[in-house]
Structure 1
Amino acid sequence: MRGDPGLRGRQGEQGTQGLPVGGAVYTRWGNTTCPTGQGTQLVYSGRAGGTRHDHKGGAANHRCMPDDPDYLQYVSGVNNQNFVAPVEYWFARMPSLSQFNSHNVACAVCYVATRGTVLMIPAKTQCHSGWTREYYGYLMSNHHSLDGRTMYECIDIDPESVPGLNTRSDPKSLFYFNEIYCNGFSCPPYDAEKELTCAVCTR
């Protein structure tokens, strides 16, 4: 049997009471709360983390990093393996959102007990019949000119930033708007000059 000999045969600590069986979990990017009045519970909130925009390796997805991390064994010092960097908004020249440029992205992990499926729909602000809209906003990802591809994430229409953080000159991961490429998509109804939207839906 491998592992720490001191842990063999030791009874684990009792955890907190778990959530009901079933349901669905999703991350609300850009907000520290979960929708109210829909049977949705906050699991935890934090700040978005991802691979630095100037690195070729690392992960393509983002994670909501809690504010109270736990650690196991570690080697002292920076070991230059992979870095989880803060994710920052870059809303370009969008007048209503530009005040958030270079601010760190808040996030919340939400649990829905009564609905078991999560679907993020790009280019829509509403959910289809029979689905519940959890939130909606803008479809964002890394800039096409930067190293590393990231997942498309749905950023809340009413974003929050993590208080007290604004790392303009530091390496980071970035959320940029996406626009449609009309060669292959019908324009109209798509429009290459408009930022793509998104909706997160549960059922």
Structure 2
Amino acid sequence: MFFAYVTFVLATVRLVVHSHGCKDYDLSASDQLLIDMMKHYLHTSRKDECTPQNKTLNTGVTYIRWGKTSCPKGVDMVYTGQVGGTYYSYRGGGVNYLCLPNDPENGQHQSYDNDQIHGGEYQLSSSMKPSGWSASMDNKEVPCSVCYQKRRSAVLMIPGRKTCYKGWNSEYNGYLMSSHKGHFKSDYACVDKNAEPLDDKNGEESGALFYPIRTKCSNLRCPPYTNEADVLCVVCTTTNV
């Protein structure tokens, strides 16, 4: 009702202006006020059609789902592959795990001695494995998938939790894994709670190793943490930034 009224008044003002004989006609203060009211109404009523929401629709985030050959339901998969990284006993090289695609475009053969990209393997046993996992995955290669979640603007891995905080959406949850404390350092990875092997091949070839880790209460505050417990993790996304 207000929109129709203002439109009518504005049209009337324009009609009066155009029909007036004087070329230098100036709008009165009341006429200008009506025009300003109309501009303000259009600006406030259509602000939801403008940038923030529409920009969000065209954005997205990527994350790696460690331990799985697929992405969560409703999430696009960029590619699937296998985990790679430097050999666990090498002093140099990168510390982060890599998600290597299954359809690589290989470079030329080289003879120099700096091989750093090895496959990743689970390191498990009956006494050292996350709850619910089978020791049969020991020495199996680790798969991974790069996932693209549309209409999200931020992604975050939270260690020590299996659920996201308010305003964040869970992509997947699992167990925090890394190299053994007696080896050289590597990255922490959130491995899916329902992790699977890359294939059925089984051979201890080492490489970039994935060990389950646990907490140690000393200067780590217990509570709220618990001594010698699995470290959970969750990958979360949000549009609220």
Q: Which of 65, 88, 93 is matched with 2:100 structurally?
A: 65
Percent of residue pairs identical: 36
* CA displacement 1:170-197 (0-9 Å, x = unmatched): 2311111122221112212212221101
* CA displacement 1:91-121 (0-9 Å, x = unmatched): 3323632221111001000001111111000
For the pair shown, the structure with the greater C-alpha radius of gyration is: 2
Check the 8 A contact 2:122/2:137 in 1, yes or no. yes
Check the 8 A contact 1:53/1:173 in 2, yes or no. yes
Residue 89 of structure 1 is matched in structure 2 by 122
Residue 139 of structure 1 is matched in structure 2 by 176
**For 1:118 and 1:43, how far apart are their aligned partners in 2?**
16
**For 1:101 and 1:78, how far apart are their aligned partners in 2?**
32
Normalised to the residue count of structure 2, the TM-score between the two structures is: 0.70
How many Å apart are 1:78 and its aligned residue?
A: 3.9
**For 1:87 and 1:33, how far apart are their aligned partners in 2?**
17
Q: Which of 82, 105, 110 is matched with 2:147 structurally?
A: 110
Q: In the alignment, does 2:173 pair up with 1:127?
A: no
More divergent stretch after superposition (172-181 vs 87-96) = 87-96
Unmatched 5+ residue regions in structure 2?
1-56
Query: Where does 1:1-203 land on structure 2 (aligned, <5 Å)?
Result: 21-37=58-74, 40-72=75-107, 74=108, 76-92=109-125, 93=127, 94=129, 96-97=132-133, 98-146=135-183, 148-168=184-204, 170-203=205-238
* CA displacement 1:24-68 (0-9 Å, x = unmatched): 00000000111104xx10000010001101111111101111111
CA RMSD of aligned residues (A): 1.6
Equivalent AA in structure 1 for residue 158 of structure 2: I
Check the 8 A contact 1:58/1:82 in 2, yes or no. no
How many Å apart are 1:21 and its aligned residue?
A: 4.9
How many Å apart are 1:77 and its aligned residue?
A: 4.5
Distance 1:43 1:126, change over 3 A: same
Q: Which has the higher helix share?
A: 2
Unmatched 5+ residue regions in structure 1?
1-19
Q: Secondary structure at the match of 2:222?
A: coil
Equivalent AA in structure 2 for residue 161 of structure 1: P
Check the 8 A contact 2:139/2:206 in 1, yes or no. no
Q: Looking at both structures, which has the greater relative contact order when contacts are Cα pairs under 8 Å and sequence separation is at least 6?
A: 1
Q: Which has the higher strand share?
A: 1
Q: Secondary structure at the match of 1:49?
A: strand
Equivalent AA in structure 2 for residue 155 of structure 1: V
